[in-house]
Amino acid sequence: MVIRKIKSIQASQPTVDGAGVKVNRVFAHHEARDLDPFLLLDDFHSKNPDDYMAGFPMHPHRGIETVTYMIKGEIEHQDSLGNRGVICSGDVQWMTAGSGIIHQEMPKSTEGMMQGFQLWVNLPAKSKMMEPRYRGIEKRLLPELSSIKGKKETVIAGTVEGIIGPVRDLVVDVEYFDIELQPGGEFVHKARSGHTAFAYVFEGEGTFGEEKKIVAAGNLVVFERSGDTVKAESNKGVRFLFASGKPLNEPVVWGGPIVMNTQKELDLAFEEYDKGTFVKHNR
């Protein structure tokens, strides 16, 4: 067993997105160069509805997948495929934008803390213009593994201890887990060779990597790609998102909610959006 070392640790940064939603941006744009195939991770949490009620009105996506995971609270969703619904506490929405989708996500006022995450996964060139698809997974369908060692693992995609997450048939080989360690607990996971891997701490603090560096809430840990095992421990208790994925190693040309491989493709996407020909598939 060779435990992966830590490549970097970085703090999330407050920003405003959508129609005025306050979020903590964990990574995007420049940081994403070391996180291929992942593009962006936002942590949105607040006890003040004024921070999030403006929401994310209708906007386009192309060339990526967006993964929304709610910890507490509700978001109403609707899109150009005709999907409508509410993403509730503990639910996941895995949306493949592909050739183009227009959607909105509007948070509902929540008593106490509202918290969720959105992760963007890049699509390879051959799949950028695939037919869009939408998968809503209710909390009850997400496997939860608990152990006497003070560990709870919620499996969204990938495999933990032989348990496979409900999001399958993925375009890009990705793992995505919610890990909670009680004091004295540890997370030891076989790392896929050459795959990018990161952990984002959002509660408590833990030690990560071969170096056993202490990382507190609000910080991202990016692991080196060498080594066959990812390890985390906690003396005080910690909760974090863990993700790994196979790098695409392709050019990335980014324009807000649209990510393509060339500037020509990006320009065409925005031209089509302006002309009303952006959506290629409708129900």
What's the pLDDT score for residue 148?
Answer: 64
Residue 119 or residue 1, greater confidence: 119
In a domain, 109, yes or no: yes
Number of structural domains in the chain: 1
The CATH number covering residue 50 comes to 2.60.120.10
Per-residue buried b or exposed e for 20-40, using 16+ beta carbons within 10 Å of the residue's own CB? ebbbbbbbbeebbeebbbbbb
Residues 189 and 242: beta-carbon distance below 8 Å? yes
Residue 209 in 3-state DSSP? Answer: coil
Q: Is residue 76 part of a domain?
A: yes
Q: What is the pLDDT of residues 46-76, one digit of tens each?
A: 999 999 999 999 999 999 999 999 999 999 9
Asked whether residue 212 is domain-assigned, the answer is yes
Task: List, for residues 179-221, the tens digit of each pLDDT value.
Answer: 999 999 999 999 988 999 999 999 999 999 999 999 999 999 9
Cβ count within 10 A of residue 258: 22
Residue 281 located in a structural domain: no
Which range marks the domain in which residue 54 is found?
6-275
In a domain? residue 187: yes
Mean pLDDT of 140-148: 87
| 214 within a domain of the structure (yes/no) | yes
Q: Mean pLDDT, to the nearest integer, of 27-42?
A: 92
280 inside domain: no
CA angle 248, 90, 244 (to 5 degrees): 20
- pTM for this entry: 0.96
Instruction: Give the position of tokens 């967006």.
Output: 66
Q: Is the pLDDT confidence value at 282 over 80?
A: no
Residue 280, C-beta contacts closer than 8 angstroms, at least 6 positions apart: 99, 100, 129, 131
Six token digits for residue 241:
């998102």
Judge whether 282 lies within some domain: no
